[in-house]
Chains A and B, each alone.
Chain A
Amino acid sequence: MEPTTTNIEKQTAAGVDVTTYDALVIGGGIGGEEAALNLANMGYSVIMVEKDYSIGGKMVHLSKVFPTLDCSACITTPKMSETIRHPNIEILTYSEVRGIEKDGKIFNTSIVKKPRYVIEADCTGCQLCEQACPVVVQDQYQYDLVGRKAAYIPFSVAAPRVAAIDIENCTLCGACERVCPPNCIDFTMKEEVIDVIVKSVIIASGFELFDAKKIPQYGFGKYKNVIHAMQMERQLVPTRPYNTVLRPKDGKMPDNIAYVLCTGSRDKTIGNPICSQVCCMYSIKQAQLIMGALPMADVTIYYMDIRAYGKGFHEFYIQTKNMGVEFVKGKIAKIDEKDDGDLVLHYEDIENGGAPKTATYDMVVLAVGVLPQNNIPELFKNEVLELDEFNYVKQTDKLVNPGMTTIDGVFVAGTSSGPMDIPDTILSAGSASAETASYLRRL
């Protein structure tokens, strides 16, 4: 098959107009964006479905990236813009795929677009509704570090940068409606079902973070000064909420911070025996950034092994060590809170005879691991998408066709197939798009 030259091809099936695309990309993180852009640049038409209000995935919320310390938002936003604007890519945000049914060479796909109560095309992102809204709730995009309104722009570099109403917390007071200049707030908006035909599917739905509450002895959720790494990322971004790093309990600048590596990874007791591949490096990166933000603070990293395996990673690790970050090979048994909010770490000091020891910190960061999004197989109604033993999408020909899955015409990209950092996600997405392109040609 030659790539379609026009963006969308209208097809009439059984009397109703159904739009056909060469590929459906599920998920608009960096993996989905790269896969979609590659296909679009090769001339194929793509529909991307993103369940969140904005594309960008986890990467757009990161501070800086290892090992180059590029500002993450600065390098992702061009990709996001390119994706949004590409004439061969159609994007549905705040949408979910409800069902995919294979029918010969095509997949009949049903997508649900959930109501954001704001007419996307009209919203200018002026944020007046946000100012007017009286409701304040915790901001999930800042990982609950600060508050936000019920009428809000998800985050500053969201793409599309369009407001949304959080209907669960909304009191229906109507304040936003009254101030909105283009009058784009619409409380009558309903869920919309969109049926499309696609010729191939790329799964790029990414990963989930380990829920630190599952290890009660670390006290996450109970001790305020125990935070997880994504919350630290948000304290370190250029647009950080406090403009410095503060401990949540009393707003004090911490003098010493401990990292607990492998939280929720390499741990059979919580059902995740594998290594998450990124937490060592992101912790090392955060340690460097903390030294920049709080030059007087001490950072100690408690690790089992340091997985500094990628290009430039080991050098970055050594550099961090030389900057004065302390590395202790030790397993954390539990964390206690003192009255003043300080935290006592109980650990096994492996490199010094393995004796149990304690140390006190102002703040503890849990380097939470990466977990699979395992609800994807449910989307396929008449075919079986198999998962591997760790619940990631199974790669059926890992060495030669790394994107191939158990369903012909369905490919996997990025962290849907296993933990990965950004460059590996890009490579995996590149390979899924190449495999999809040759599949489409063979059709």
Chain B
Amino acid sequence: MKQKIGVYICQCGSNISDYVDVDKVLDSVKDLEGVSLVKITMFSCSDSTQNEMVDDIKNEDLDGLVVASCSPKLHLPTFRNVAIRGGLNPYNYVQVNIREQGSWAHSDNPKKATEKAIQLVKAGIERTKYSNALEKTVIPSEKAVAVIGAGIAGMKAAIELADMGLSVYLIEKDFFVGGRITQWEDLCTVEELASDTVTRLYDEVKSKDNLTLFLGATAENMSGSVGNFKLTINIRPRYIKSDFNKDKIEELTGKCKTLTPNEFDFGLTKRKIVFKTYPGALPDIPVVDIKNAGDDINIINEFKDHLDLDRKDESITVDIGSVILATGSDPYTPKVGELGYKEIDNVVTFQEFKRIIELSPNGKLKYNGKDIKSVGYIYCVGSCQAEGNMYCSRFCCTCAISTSLSINKRFEKIRFYHVYKHIRTYGKQEVLYDQAGRQGDIFFKFDEDEEPVVSMVDGEGTITFNDLLTDGEEISVSPDLIVLVTGMVPRDDYKRVAEVFKAPIGRDKFFNEAHPKLRPVETVIDGIMIAGASQGPKSISESTKSALSAASKADALLHKGEIELEPTLAMIDTSLCEGSGLCIQACPFNAITMIDAGGKKLAQVEKSACKGCGWCLAVCPHDAIELAGYTNNEMEGMIESLITV
């Protein structure tokens, strides 16, 4: 039992002391058995107070440490470190949460907040008394990372990780790399073509010996934990032999007749069943879409010597230490009839518009064979909604405006009407907004709570709204093309991906980061990082930044080749164990086995498999199992202290 405990009560500036009478807390605990020092601090986490604690531990020879401050989620590691620096075992430190669960939760009643704080601190002291010194276990970890998605974020993360010296598995669902940006081609805000960017990255990906790219591949199942995950990948066949004969495949493509809507062009064009999504798609190997072959199956069979028709789905398992999810986003698809979409001919989404631009012949912007001379944008479609997608998609304003500028360099004068809810050209992008105005674009603003209406007026698709910039006057415009500036939504399979990796999902359904300010690429699941638009809408440059950040976090985690495990493990008291085996059934990680100890059956815990969930303790009929850090003494001691005044 600890006899010389140091207790620090934090004011947290005034976050705690505004509501909790810290002097009273000090008075109530200073004479408790085992307490040898109590102090009130302004900011316990400040460097100087930390140093003071270190000195106290050494000078006063403390054997236990309690800091009553904020949530352990913020500072448990901080003060465990203080303990270590003072020469104490970090598990003889207990953090008491008197802010989130004290002063703030009960700011309506300072008296009760103070009473509660006193009980909580007493319980923390009691727990410290019974606490045991625990040692972390160090296990070897894989110096390998799986990156899911070979869009710009995924490719960049993979390249960097390979450069850092880790083995990388880059897993792409599609048969071509590059992700969404290949669809936009003429990139917003920069003078760069997506195909150039993707080629640059693809060449780098190919040049790394320690980077393996899987195409047509999906992550199916993952087990294990940080440092030692096992990931099962399913790889669909491309049906084209790796040493394929280019001429033969071209001949085959030429003979094929069946056409299906081309997803790459959002169905604006059709493609054959032997295809590349676009001419420059990488790798430069077509894929055979057998499922949709229809009558073409006969032609395919004719060419079977050049194809890999017997190939089946293949499943492989890789050992990795960490995962970066870079699965990107989907464009928002309006419902049929939403602002005339799919009901009025000349209403398209912004993403479709980008394809229309790419598919238009030189010098003329055309849609459905008609010349486009004017375009009307409606902003915030599917974003900033009162209900549904409440979030802003961040990049659509800038991209729409940037496109209105670049288009006028490519085609003869096109007039733009911007019907907006918000214009969010943040940062340097602001100058584009200014340029658009000077180019002669016309801006209208509609009220946040009053969406425009798109309808047929005199045979023309027309946008009608009240314009706030002209005192709410009702205005109608009938441009040649109405473009719904649609934002980003999570990929349609986000739930499945989240399930495989146990990745947390936020309110907006994007993957959720561990801390929105300071840990934007990590998740609460150790070893699982998120990058690019899978975490929330982002521009290319922002996606690259997050990918690189995730890579540096993964490297910091894995470069040593070993990982420290929490010592919170189940411990079996062999004198009490009767070998009932109930714990074996209860353990979700198969960490318990039965051994034969001289005729007696005894349960045994495998340390590296135990995750410290405690499920086994709850079921043992003989109370033979304790969880380190949560022993009966600690738990029941706390319970008693909480209730005893």
Contacts and interface: CB of A to CB of B under 8 A. Distances in A.
Interface stretch (A74-82, A186-194, A225-233): A74-82
Interface in B369-422: 383-384, 390-392, 394, 422
A352 B447 CA distance: 12
Interface string A404-427: 000000000000001110111011
B424 A73 contact: no
B424 A78 contact: no
A234 to B, nearest CB: 12
B42 A427 contact: no
B43 A312 contact: no
Interface stretch (A6-14, A19-27, A36-44, A211-219): A36-44
B548 interface: yes
A423 B516 contact: yes
Given A42-B556, A273-B431, A305-B423, A81 B544 contact: no
A319 to B, nearest CB: 10
Interface in B36-75: 42-43, 45-48, 50, 70, 74-75
Contacts of B152: 399-400
B164 A42 contact: yes
Nearest to B424: A309
B427 A275 contact: yes
A79 B428 CA distance: 29
B260 interface: no
B464 interface: no
A354 B77 CA distance: 55
A79 B518 contact: yes
Interface string B534-574: 01100011101111111111011001100000000000000
Interface stretch (B8-16, B329-337, B477-485, B617-625): B8-16
A28 to B, nearest CB: 13
B429 A275 contact: yes
A434 B190 contact: no
Contact of A438 (B42, B164, B384): B164
A349 to B, nearest CB: 10
A430 B428 contact: no
Contact of B426 (A77, A78, A277): A277
Contacts of B115: none
B499 interface: no
Given A42-B559, A238-B14, A351-B469, A402 B541 contact: yes
B174 interface: no
A180 interface: no
A354 B430 CA distance: 22
Instruction: Select the residue from A67, A266, A275, A399 with max chain B CB neighbours within 10 A.
Output: A399
Contact of A431 (B391, B425, B544): B544
A410 B394 CA distance: 30
A132 interface: no
26 contacts: A41-B556, A43-B559, A70-B517, A75-B515, A238-B13, A239-B13, A275-B425, A305-B422, A307-B424, A308-B422, A310-B536, A311-B391, A311-B510, A313-B392, A314-B392, A352-B472, A390-B428, A402-B545, A423-B517, A424-B542, A426-B520, A426-B549, A433-B552, A434-B549, A438-B160, A438-B164
Interface of B: 12-15, 42-43, 45-48, 50, 70, 74-75, 77-78, 81, 152, 156, 160, 163-165, 187, 190, 192, 197, 200-201, 383-384, 390-392, 394, 422-431, 434, 445, 468-472, 506, 508, 510, 515-521, 535-536, 540-542, 544-553, 555-556, 559-560
Interface of A: 3, 38, 41-43, 65, 67-68, 70-71, 73-75, 77-81, 84-85, 124-125, 156-157, 159-161, 237-239, 243, 266, 273-277, 305-315, 318, 329, 350-354, 388, 390, 392, 398-403, 418-420, 422-424, 426-431, 433-435, 437-438, 441-442
The 9 closest A-B pairs by CB, nearest first: A430-B549, A238-B13, A431-B548, A161-B48, A41-B556, A353-B471, A438-B163, A434-B548, A239-B13
